[in-house]
Structure 1
Amino acid sequence: MANRTVIAAGATGLVGREILQGLLADPSVAAVHSLVSATGADAGSEVFYSRVKGELQDALAKLPFEGLVIARPSMFEPPRSPA
């Protein structure tokens, strides 16, 4: 029986996409709500975008969810050449 509601923050990246697919396939999950986070999200940031994303994440963490996963995208670097 589906009885869990999930909020997934950061469900558009590589890892988030996999988490989202798993949640959608889980028969115990009744609903999934998705929020997009950002690399560098920090409520104390001087950068407006990063600060707002961080404030949102902090606010979500204070809500009485059974669990909360915030998946932030990572920076991809090109493969290094051998030295």
Structure 2
Amino acid sequence: MTVRSHRADDVVDEVGVWLAGEFAGRLPVSEIDRVVRATRFDLEGSIAPEELGEMLHRLGRARLQRLLQYAPATQVRIPQAR
């Protein structure tokens, strides 16, 4: 494994944590992780390595927002006070 790949893995982990914080409670962490990893795969070789963090965050966030847009709304029930 090269130094560059270690750095890329760190960037992917950092973006995953950032997006998990943003989408927590609305999407499962496993789905957020899957989207981030798939997005990294899609970007590899298509962009300059130093742009990975920003592009991964932007594209990953857009994809997660799209998932929420098409997911059925969760109904929240608030218990009635006595």
TM range, smaller chain: under 0.3
Q: TM-score, normalised by structure 2?
A: 0.28
| Structure whose residues are more often helix by fraction | 2
Q: TM-score, normalised by structure 1?
A: 0.27
| Structure whose residues are more often strand by fraction | 1
